[in-house]
Amino acid sequence: MSSSSSQPLTGRRIWIAGIGGAGMSAYALLAHAWGAEVAGWDRVDTPYLAHLSGIDVAISAEPPKPPEGWEVYVSTAFAGRVAGQPRATLLAELVSLRRSIVVAGAHGKTTTSAMIAFCLDRLGLDPAFLIGGDVPQLGGNARAGQGWLVVEGDESDRSVAALRPEIAVLLNVDLDHHTTFASLAEVEGLFEAWLAAVPHVVRAERLEPVDLVLAIPGEHNRRNAAAALAALELAGVEGAERVIVEFAGVGRRLQRRSERVFDSYAHHPAELAADIAAVRNGGRVLALFQPHLYSRTRYLAHEFAVALASADAVCVTDIYPAREEPIPGVTGRLIVDELARVRPGMRIGWAPALDDAARIVSAWARPGDTILTLGAGDVDRVVDLL
């Protein structure tokens, strides 16, 4: 491959606000490897920044002024605080520069994208990838290989609509982002309009789960694997079934942290229910759930309660706010009260602080129990306490 096609961004200067995030750090790594001069800013240091050698990163409470004459791209977390183009614009360009596979849908994007990239890697096809979580077997969340580019498409800010891959995978459709979409029909409309512009489409909900012994548990992961294999078949890849069984998962995606403790990024009722079912092995399942976003908690409190009721005991913490301002009267207590109604007599804990929740769940635990920490916030930091 000539240097111009392997480094298509040569001569460009790109500055990224929110460069420490899972997504933006991955775009920075790829843009730099493809020839651009890249720099950026974030409020705090993050593990993803460790992968960005050769990129100048400023860490400060307030964003510095971007360098004169550079293209500025802004993470969704800082939209409105920093002037620049949305992340979708940069991602759309990266996708256009390679033969690309984009994985979208409400649940399973990170795992399915990682499965596809893992198979390409193990089969010697040198993929590039941008994945929203750390994949230990691939050495991180991003790489600038010379083969297919594998990407997660995100509907939370509608950015998936800007992507034009050769192959699209739609895993499932669910209403997960209540400040972006007014209804499920609106989410469906976004995906259908997007898929109409893509040459090859995998609709995962029409596939049977794979009948393979995977290294990661759960019916939902057998469905993710079916979608990954269908995409690889469309890409003309042979031998993927042989290697996908070695895929050991993504950080914080139902990750086994000890013999009895699993940690999951699950933050939607469908994901909680799937993970609780996946770790059942005859003993009790104790769940520690940190809700994510005020809007999601407000709209889905009942659905969260129904999902959590499938565990044997549950402790709920207060809400991890992420990008939202508090809503009066909306706390994790909404889920606790709803859970008491859905399953009277169930052992339920309410501990606004994470450390207190960890102590409660630890006190409940007895030999043979499985403990599951759930949430897209910082709930994973209590795993060591447990």
pLDDT tens track for 8-56: 999 999 999 999 998 899 999 999 999 999 999 999 998 889 989 999 9
State pTM to two decimals. Answer: 0.86
CATH for 98-244? Answer: 3.40.1190.10
Structure tokens, 101: 């596979």
Q: Which residues pair with 73 in a beta bridge?
A: 16, 85
Q: Among 40-44, 170-174, 258-262, 346-350, whose mean pLDDT is lowest?
A: 170-174
* Helix intervals (H) in the chain: 3-6, 22-33, 87-96, 109-122, 184-195, 219-234, 240-244, 269-279, 294-308, 333-342, 354-364
Select the more confidently predicted residue: 5 or 178. 5
Mean pLDDT of 103-130: 96
Mean pLDDT of the chain: 94
What's the topology of domain 9-86?
A: Rossmann fold (3.40.50)
Q: Which CATH class is domain 255-382?
A: alpha beta
Boundaries of every domain in the chain: 9-86, 98-244, 255-382
Indicate whether 318 pLDDT > 60.
Answer: yes
Look-up of token digits 């997007």: 194
Q: Which range among 121-130, 148-157, 268-277 shows the weakest confidence by mean pLDDT?
A: 148-157
pLDDT at res. 4? 58
Q: How far apart are CA 129 and CA 145, in angstroms?
A: 8
Percent of the chain topping pLDDT 70: 97
Cα 30 to Cα 32: distance, rounded to the nearest angstrom: 5
All residues at 6 or more sequence positions from 198 whose CB lies less than 8 Å from its CB, including other chains: 102, 164, 165, 166, 167, 168
pLDDT above 60 (res 3): no
CB-based contact 79:87 (threshold 8 Å):
no
CA dist., res. 213 & res. 274, Å (int): 18
